[in-house]
Amino acid sequence: MLSPSTAPLSRTFDAGLVDLDGVTYRGPEPVRHAAESLALARADGMRMAFVTNNASREPEEVAAQLTDLGIAAEPAEVATAAQAAAALLAERLPVGSTVLVVGGRGLVTAVRAAGMTVVSSADDRPDAVVQGFAPDVSWRDLAEAAYAVQRGAWHVASNRDITLPNERGLAPGNGALVAAVVLATGREPVSAGKPEPAMFLLAAQRAGSANPLVVGDRLDTDLAGARAAGFPGLQVFTGVSSARDAVLAPAAQRPSFIGADLRSLLEPHPAPARGPEGWWACGDSAARVVSGTVELAPSPAADGTVSIDAVRSACAAVWSAVDEGTTVDASRVPDLRVHEPDGDGLDR
């Protein structure tokens, strides 16, 4: 079930472990309300750690981009999938082991910092292949990775995100590139990034946090990773996963809190309560499941928008029904376009 918070989340939790793509920016463009919301959350005493499955860039580059977008960030506050992958290599391989790196500068730096020797060809007989996203990864790079894995190299992926949100839409992510190597070799890699818990645990430790909140847009990585790490998670609807996706989320991916965008860090979060006739109520909205179909009260507005409390109610109604053994017809769950306080709607 969704968790209650009578105080703003920025005061309930001592640190936010914040995803980047789809939460603070999409490609080079900032997400609306992100900069001011994070600044106000910091003013409330919430420390920040920026956790990204993107392994292509150095922490300094990530911090510089955030700063350019008006989001204060230091390199030490950035935890990348490259660092998580390098840590995974160091757990299994001795110092000096050879690693074929397929990815960007950030991954090369992290692997070298872990004491590994970076090679560029399968003919070097590397002990491992580590694969992370970079926009200039080519067919030749993927081919070298496949040759090395076929010859026995251990395959490590920084993450397996199939898509990468940017200002133009959803581009192929590292998971799509990893899948090409998997199809060529028939061998599944180990993944270091989200939804594995290591990055969140590392970020919380760096932030000195005893009570962190994971903030993300993707159910299958951010929110699943939060649950794997044992941390509460806030899903915002500015990236990949929609409000409808939240309603239909499997138990292992359900968020503890939901919000339209990062302004929800600054708000209390009421939890839906169960009432008579199967209704779950939150604020002025309610939802229930009848014969596998979701009913909302009030119905969506003429433009298709609903309040965030309507989404909360729908989550509670569907999650409880599924957990009690009811089959919910996903095709009968409506699209939920969240109404924003300033009058806009998110097509999420």
The DSSP code sequence of 81-137 is HHHHHHHHHHHHS-TT-EEEEES-HHHHHHHHHTTPEEE--GGG--SEEEE---TT-
Mean pLDDT of 177-200: 94
The CATH number of the domain covering residues in 91-191: 3.40.50.1000
The pair phi, psi for residue 306, each rounded to 5°, is -135, 165
- More confident call, 310 vs 336: 310
Whether residue 197 is preceded by a cis peptide bond, meaning omega within 30 degrees of 0, is: no
Rg over alpha carbons for the chain, rounded to the nearest Å, is 21
pLDDT class for 150, splitting at 50, 70, 90? very high
- pLDDT value at residue 169: 87
- pLDDT value at residue 56: 84
168, with CB counted inside 10 A (0-12, 13-18, 19+), is: exposed
- pLDDT value at residue 302: 82
pLDDT tens track for 207-256: 999 999 999 999 999 999 999 999 999 999 999 999 999 999 999 999 99
Q: Same CATH fold, 91-191 and 9-53+195-266?
A: yes
pLDDT class for 303, splitting at 50, 70, 90? confident
* Proportion of the chain above pLDDT 90, given as a percent: 82
- pLDDT value at residue 345: 45
Beta-bridged to residue 47, according to DSSP, are 15
CATH entry, 9-53+195-266, from 3.40.190.10, 3.40.50.1000, 3.40.50.170, 1.10.3210.10: 3.40.50.1000
- pLDDT value at residue 335: 86
The answer, yes or no, to whether residue 346 has pLDDT greater than 50, is no
Beta-bridged to residue 215, according to DSSP, are 18, 234
- Please state, as a whole number, how many other Cβ atoms lie within 10 Å of the Cβ of residue 268: 13
Annotation says 21 is catalytic = yes
- For the chain, give the number of residues: 348
- pLDDT value at residue 71: 96
Q: How many Cα atoms within 13 Å fall on the side-chain side of residue 343?
A: 0
pLDDT class for 344, splitting at 50, 70, 90? very low
B/e letters for 110-136, b = 16+ CB within 10 Å, e = fewer, are bbeebebebbeebebebbbbbbbbbee
Per annotation, catalytic residue among 14, 19, 68, 161? 19
Annotation says 44 is catalytic = no
Per annotation, catalytic residue among 14, 21, 222, 284? 21
- pLDDT value at residue 340: 66
Average pLDDT over the chain reads 93
| Residue boundaries of the structural domains of the chain | 9-53+195-266, 91-191, 273-340
CA–CA separation, 51 and 170 (whole Å): 19
- Please state, as a whole number, how many other Cβ atoms lie within 10 Å of the Cβ of residue 229: 22
pLDDT tens track for 243-301: 999 999 999 999 999 999 999 999 999 999 999 999 999 999 999 999 999 999 999 88
* Largest Cα–Cα separation, the chain: 69
